[in-house]
Chains A and B, each alone.
Chain A
Amino acid sequence: DAGVTQSPTHLIKTRGQQVTLRCSPKSGHDTVSWYQQALGQGPQFIFQYYEEEERQRGNFPDRFSGHQFPNYSSELNVNALLLGDSALYLCASSLDLTGYTGELFFGEGSRLTVL
């Protein structure tokens, strides 16, 4: 059973460009959450998708947007890249159950470097 898979694993962009990151959730999971992890910091919640809708959003600007497809996979888009967007972007999948105390499964992440 494949876990959470993300692509690409590494990428380099320049300021002002746009980037799309992709995530396939663990089999059987219907909810995808995206996190940004800057070097030496803990993951920060960007947003969560369920039933192809953005359900919750953290404190990130509108340059960060996403999408969820009918097969539950998801994309994270970042427009007008800034140097400060350089980070590891983590995708996490789970089941949509409030207070569910099982595991939140993370992918290996996409390491974005903005030059």
Chain B
Amino acid sequence: GQNIDQPTEMTATEGAIVQINCTYQTSGFNGLFWYQQHAGEAPTFLSYNVLDGLEEKGRFSSFLSRSKGYSYLLLKELQMKDSASYLCAVILRGSTLGRLYFGRGTQLTVWP
């Protein structure tokens, strides 16, 4: 089976930087997604990494190391609205987009 691991909870203060890690052990890895999910809402797409390295998109950046089976999501200049669950998800080679393997999510709480 596929194994995707991320911390259950993290806390940080407004204006700070936080890094949410994700490690994975899968067969036929193709790429890794990060989603944000506010309580009671749909997951929304943040980033997709298929090659090693850092992808920056405004306050959010995502990093991937295929050889280490490791990714992180970096959130800068934290705002209260960033309090949410952050989901790491893997897509396998040959799979269609709708078939993702998710971690359990990291609940981030941002304090004033």
Give the residue name and chain of the B residue nearest to A44 (CB).
B102
Of A94, A105, A108, the contact of B96 (CB 8 Å cutoff): A94
Query: Which residues of the other chain, A, contact B74 by a CB distance below 8 angstroms?
Result: none
A103 to B48: give the CA distance in the assembly, Å: 9
A54 to B43: give the CA distance in the assembly, Å: 23
Given A42-B87, A43-B87: A104 touches B42 (CB 8 Å cut-off): no
Given A4-B42, A99-B30: A104 touches B102 (CB 8 Å cut-off): no
Question: A interface, how many residues as a size bin?
Answer: 20 to 34
Max chain A CB contacts within 10 Å: which of B41, B50, B87, B99? B99
Give the residue name and chain of the A residue nearest to B98 (CB).
A33
Give the residue name and chain of the B residue nearest to A96 (CB).
B96
Q: Is A104 a contact of B98 with CB atoms below 8 Å?
A: yes
Query: Which residues of the other chain, A, contact B100 by a CB distance below 8 angstroms?
Result: 43, 45, 104
Query: Which residues of the other chain, A, contact B31 by a CB distance below 8 angstroms?
Result: 101
Of B30, B91, B96, B105, the contact of A48 (CB 8 Å cutoff): B96
A108 to B43: give the CA distance in the assembly, Å: 8
A-B contact pairs, 30 of them (CB 8 A): A4-B42, A31-B97, A35-B102, A40-B8, A41-B104, A42-B87, A42-B89, A42-B105, A43-B87, A43-B102, A45-B100, A45-B101, A50-B96, A55-B96, A56-B95, A92-B98, A94-B96, A97-B96, A97-B97, A98-B94, A98-B96, A99-B95, A99-B97, A104-B45, A104-B97, A105-B45, A106-B43, A107-B42, A108-B42, A109-B42
